[in-house]
Amino acid sequence: MADFNSEFWSWFISAIALGGIVWMLYLLQINNKAELPEDGEAKPTGHVWDEDLQELNTPLPRWWLYMFYITIVFGLVYLALYPGLGSYKGILGWSSVGEYEAEVAVADAKFDPLYEKFLGEDLTVLAASDNAMRTGERLYVNYCSVCHGSDARGAKGFPNLRDNDWLYGDDPETIKATIMHGRTGAMPAWQDALGGEEGVAQVAEYVQQLAGREVDAEVAELGKAKYDMFCFACHTAEGTGNKAMGAPNLTDNVWLYGGTAKAIKLSIAKGRAGRMPAHAEFLGEAKVHILAAYIYSLSNESK
């Protein structure tokens, strides 16, 4: 059972569970007092339906009654052996977490050797292995598709893994390090520093110019002055980004949070925060090794 924030709830649940059983016993007892007369004929109780359908005071069948008692005994034994009474863990100490961990341990013992055999191979070599990539695809579908999509083309706030735009670098070892240890990206909010919405709009115009779009040249020029003051340290003076920091390239017209003028202004004004969780402890290096090779292969399919 989960830990309760108050002992009251543990007792409350226990009282409901045991009280229900006691109530069932009481109902059985009060409804088991009727006996057939000596002549063996059941008598009407006075309840009549559909003109001539009468309810008789026939006692409950013994076999049915005994089965009901058996279910009550079974319930009590179950509550003694397994969790069911609030925080009580049961005589057997069973838990869903323990069951899951036991199943994972069995699966790891069975399948880990299959993953370990790939661990010593170079990632670029694995990326060319059909056998390894089939394994990598299964791992991706299970652990990565919920964020990056089943086709690995990402979504708003989740990078496309099939293009050649990489925040931290596209070499296989960097990809592996990203999966192993995770990444935390933070774009600070700049609205106040840029002088409000007008300054944000000017920088947004210049950023779009860097991406090769047609913009208002005068507004973009004003935005460049502000960009050179506040933005170049992360994105570089040319706007090509900084992989060491995970700062995006602003010249390739690839936008993680949307490339509309409105989305770009929002990113500049309010900032962005992204987090890629670490998978080293959860998956282990062997699985991450294959995953990294698979993801590397996705962006190199056309090369």
DSSP class of residue 249?
Answer: P
DSSP class of residue 219?
Answer: H
Mean pLDDT value of segment 237-242: 96
pLDDT band of 58, cuts 50, 70, 90: confident
pLDDT recorded at residue 1 = 45
Structure tokens at 171: 């070499």
pTM: 0.72
Q: Give the closest residue to 259 by CA, choosing from 208, 222, 200.
A: 208
Sign of CA dihedral 23, 25, 28, 29: negative
- The answer to whether the beta carbons of residues 137 and 295 sit under 8 Å apart is no
Cβ neighbors of 289 (< 8 A, separation 6 or more) are: 115, 118, 119, 123, 126, 176
Residue 3 has pLDDT above 70, yes or no: no
First to last CA, the chain: 53
Cβ neighbors of 88 (< 8 A, separation 6 or more) are: 1, 10, 14
Q: Any idea which of 28-42, 43-57, 76-90, 258-272 has the lowest mean pLDDT?
A: 28-42
| R_g of the chain, CA atoms, integer Å | 34
Residue 162 has pLDDT above 60, yes or no: yes
Residue 260 has pLDDT above 60, yes or no: yes
The reply to whether 103-164+172-181+281-293 and 186-276 are identical in fold is yes
Strand 44-49 to 272-276 pairing: unpaired
Backbone angles phi, psi at 29, to 5 degrees: -65, -45
Q: Tell me the fold of 103-164+172-181+281-293.
A: Cytochrome Bc1 Complex; Chain D, domain 2 (1.10.760)
> 184: exposed, middle or buried (C-beta count within 10 Å: 0-12, 13-18, 19+)?
exposed
**pLDDT digits over 33-53, tens only?**
666 666 667 778 788 888 889
pLDDT recorded at residue 56 = 81
Residue 191 has pLDDT above 60, yes or no: yes
Mean pLDDT value of segment 21-38: 78
- The answer to whether the beta carbons of residues 147 and 295 sit under 8 Å apart is no
Distance CA 110, CA 122 (A): 24
Mean pLDDT value of segment 115-140: 93
pLDDT recorded at residue 50 = 84
| CATH code of the domain occupying 186-276 | 1.10.760.10
Domain ranges of the chain: 7-81, 103-164+172-181+281-293, 186-276
Higher pLDDT, 170 or 43: 170
Distance CA 44, CA 57 (A): 6
